[in-house]
Structure 1
Amino acid sequence: MLIREALAADIPALVALRMQLFCEVGELATSEADPALWQATRDYFTQSMQEGSARSWVVEVDNALVACGTLALFVRPPYPGNLAGREAYVLNMYIRPAWRRRGLAGGLLDAMLAHAREQRLGKLWLHASDEGRPLYERLGFLGNPACLELSLST
């Protein structure tokens, strides 16, 4: 098992893993159900890797990617405790079902947290599934009941 930062050659696998995530949470019937979403996701990973606006990590086993996670990087105005305003949103955390409960998510998060500390990011945040919440809490993530979300898409 190898945990490493994703390369451009990994983008098709990152997209496939993300589509599987959408299937699992009930947002897609099949991985191929929305070709436009597939292409938009591929474009996102391609552009964000080129710009450095997001970094992804993967778990590779026998030359196959079985898990992934992404940090979407952004800068806000400075605030108390984060004078640089640099933050990241943790997303795209997905482990293929056959590989769950083997420490892969923790390994991915360790690599992502090491990068965040190295880059001196002031804060990481995420939206956790019920299944993932205990892992994030063990790593020090805290709940924030003040966080509200507004979807502007129709």
Structure 2
Amino acid sequence: MEITYRKLTENDLDVFIRMRITQLREEGATEDVDLVPPLTDYYHRHLVDGTFVSWLALDGEKIVGTSGMSFVEKPPYFSCPSGRIGLLSSMYTDPDYRRTGIAKELLRRVTEEARAYGCGCVQITASDMGVLLYTDFGFEKNGNFMQYNL
């Protein structure tokens, strides 16, 4: 198994979106809408404007791992004076390739993208499966995260 890494391109979006939906299903999401059109729209727009980047892991030509980083800006605050935040998403490894270091390498690459973009921090809502990966990498829990659905 020779794993290589490269950035996501528009040509990869069909597979990338299928893997994102598989990830959401594994995490227990309830499906009440077709996510393909809004995901396609999102990735097209944000790949073009540079506010989304993804690294992929490949075994030959087969994509076996994905990552994603969206860049957002908020008013600066003390722990993030740039106001730029990386929102980590789409961390997924094909079940046949798990526990081989792929996710850790993808995480390293996308956090470097966030650093290069000028982000002061990276945030994620971690799945139960991902908590160990993120804590080992240095992420800290923020117990005050809340969400209000509109």
> Does TM, scored on the shorter chain, surpass 0.5?
yes
Native 8 Å contact 2:27 2:127 kept in 1: no
Asked if 1:44 is matched to 2:42, the reply is: yes
The match for 1:5 among 4, 7, 30 is 7
> Could you tell me which amino acid in structure 1 is paired with residue 122 of structure 2?
L
Native 8 Å contact 2:83 2:120 kept in 1: yes
SS at match of 1:3: strand
Native 8 Å contact 2:52 2:71 kept in 1: yes
Asked if 1:143 is matched to 2:145, the reply is: no
Q: CA deviation at 1:68?
A: 0.5
Flag structure 1 segments of 5+ consecutive residues without an equivalent.
Answer: none
Flag structure 2 segments of 5+ consecutive residues without an equivalent.
Answer: none
User: For residues 79-118 of structure 1, what are the alpha-carbon distances to aligned partners after superposition, in whole Å with 9 as ceiling and x for unaligned?
Assistant: 1132221111101111111111111100100101222222
> How many residue pairs were aligned?
148
SS at match of 2:139: coil
Native 8 Å contact 2:57 2:106 kept in 1: yes
The match for 1:131 among 129, 132, 145 is 129
When residues 98 and 28 of structure 1 are mapped into structure 2, their CA distance, relative to the original with a 3 A threshold, is farther
Partners in 1 of 2:124 and 2:100 — Cα distance? Answer: 22
User: For residues 58-82 of structure 1, what are the alpha-carbon distances to aligned partners after superposition, in whole Å with 9 as ceiling and x for unaligned?
Assistant: 1111101111011111111111132
The aligned residue for residue 22 of structure 1 is: 24
Q: CA deviation at 1:28?
A: 5.6
Partners in 1 of 2:134 and 2:66 — Cα distance? Answer: 15
Alignment RMSD (CA, Å): 1.6
> Could you tell me which amino acid in structure 1 is paired with residue 8 of structure 2?
A
Asked if 1:87 is matched to 2:85, the reply is: yes
The aligned residue for residue 78 of structure 1 is: 76
User: For residues 6-54 of structure 1, what are the alpha-carbon distances to aligned partners after superposition, in whole Å with 9 as ceiling and x for unaligned?
Assistant: 111111111010111122123367xxx95x3112211111111011121
TM-score, normalisation: structure 2: 0.91
The aligned residue for residue 63 of structure 2 is: 65
